[in-house]
Amino acid sequence: MESAVKEKELGITCLDGLEYLPGGEILLQAVHSFNLGHWENEHALLVSLYTRRLASVGIAIPKVGLSPLSIKLKLYEKLASHYPDPYAEFKALEQRLLKLMTYLERELCLKQTG
């Protein structure tokens, strides 16, 4: 796995306050996991699916070296051990993360035009 995520490498001034946004807790927990060298938990796996989109808003996430399909299979396996409907849980987590990314993209656009 590549180097751990550092706040100064994220391209955003501060991660403070993200925990109050929908999906912010997912990203923050994933960043914490990456910094510890762990990438096989639910949040880290989910965030790994969106490295390109997050990079577009200045958040560099290390690549895990697996295909998106392999990442999804690992994620479903993890979710299946805790939830009766892993697909529904995946979609719920994904929607929260997508809301956060949409917000970050909007903020970046406003900064660039303002």
Q: Which of 48-52, 60-64, 110-114 has the lowest mean pLDDT?
A: 110-114
Q: What is the pTM of this model?
A: 0.82
What does the pLDDT look like over 20-31, one tens digit per residue?
888 999 999 999
| Structure confidence by residue, pLDDT tens digits, 78-106 | 999 999 999 999 999 999 999 999 998 88
> Is-contact 11 59, C-beta < 8 A?
yes
**99 HSE (CA, 13 A, CB side):** 15
DSSP H or E run through 74: helix 68-80
